[in-house]
Amino acid sequence: MPAWGGVLIIAPVFSGPWPWFNALNPGVFMSSDAIVHISDASFEQEVIAADIPVLVDFWAPWCGPCKMIAPILDDLAEQFEGKLKITKLNVDDNKESAAKFNVRGIPTLIIFKNGAAHATKVGALSKPQLVDFINGAL
């Protein structure tokens, strides 16, 4: 037996489009350029004053289900470009907006239309479920 105990360690060297990989490797997956990262300070301008519907993903960096839906939201941001703006708001850094919209669990997805909350889903959803949620709100 080798001196190192015979344990083979395989370290991931790439980020893939697999939600399980991204959930297990925090910080590896970066969101698409189509996703807008917002804050309490920019919420009014980016969401309330937007001229198209806006989906806000209330998330946290330590949240496994949030990481699992991140690549799906990236795909949908490109798929719905021009019809829906997809944004992300880190609830750890932006407590005011999370409290204002009564976010109690994450991920919480809220679609805003004409400056008001229109539809809400809490928890990780599959891509078909997210598409149905978005289409139902548009």
Residues acting as catalytic residues: 63, 66
Residue with tokens 């519907």: 53
Q: Where are the alpha helices (DSSP H) in 1-138?
A: 19-24, 43, 64-79, 95-100, 127-137
Q: Are 35 and 79 in contact (CB under 8 A)?
A: no
Q: Tell me which residue of 25, 35, 127, 138 sits closest to 81, measured CA to CA.
A: 35
Residues 46 and 38: beta-carbon distance below 8 Å: yes
